[in-house]
A and B are shown apart, each in its own frame.
Chain A
């Protein structure tokens, strides 16, 4: 295994642990953002073809859209409460 892939994989695992350990829902989103950066980079490094790059971009942009929707919902729930 290459050193770059090792470093990225280690950071991804660390983020998974921190997502479980953090209580605050808003701060979980920050760790989740870092995790999707890692996954997107790993997709591109393992699938070494232009299509792998397109998949990484689509994965990353749709994960940001999801985070956007979740953060919006957290704000709305706060208003209702």
Chain B
């Protein structure tokens, strides 16, 4: 039973990782720092030997609620309230984006896509696993090893024509 839980957690983590990295890259997070603070973080990542575009991506996640925040908050609300909770989370993430002077497309769309994914997968993987999976996904980018994470994000950005 424990092993099954762990496998579900890891699969949910991979789905969350793909969901928020693809949406954030598509909306151009690695291209330019959205706010001044993200620029500082990007340059710092470059100083320790990482990729500048990957650094901007990580700086933008810190400075404004993007698809990563949308994914976490929508999974939380799906766990507590079902599908309509996911829609409430999308609205609140949009308000948060506006407070941070961001257009707010990435966060809102991230919240809506994860709501759809949880709705489709809920007979197999419950919404609770997506909450834990999102923590694993953000840990792999922001908390584990900044240098290699930024290089990986830079490569993905290059492949999707977002960044040099």
Which residue of B6, B62, B85 has the most chain A CB atoms within 10 A of its CB atom? B62
Q: Mark A54-74, 1 if CB is under 8 A from B, else 0.
A: 101100110011011111101
Residues of B within 8 A of A8 (CB): 131-132, 135
Contact B143 A14 (CB under 8 A): yes
In whole Å, how far is A68's beta carbon from the nearest beta carbon of chain B? 4
Q: Given that A37-B138, A45-B131 are known contacts, is A75 also in contact with B65, CB under 8 Å in the complex? A: no
How many A-B Cβ pairs are below 8 Å? Answer: 148
**How many residues of chain B have a CB within 8 Å of chain A?**
49
Stretch at the interface among B38-46, B114-122, B153-161: B38-46
Q: Is the interface of B mostly helix, strand, loop or mixed?
A: helix
Within the assembled complex, what's the spacing in Å between the Cα atoms of A70 and B40? Answer: 11
Residues of A within 8 A of B59 (CB): 71
Residues of B within 8 A of A (CB): 2, 5-6, 9, 35-41, 44, 48, 58-59, 61-65, 68-69, 72-73, 76-77, 79-81, 85, 89, 92-93, 95-96, 99-100, 128-129, 131-132, 134-136, 138-139, 142-143, 146
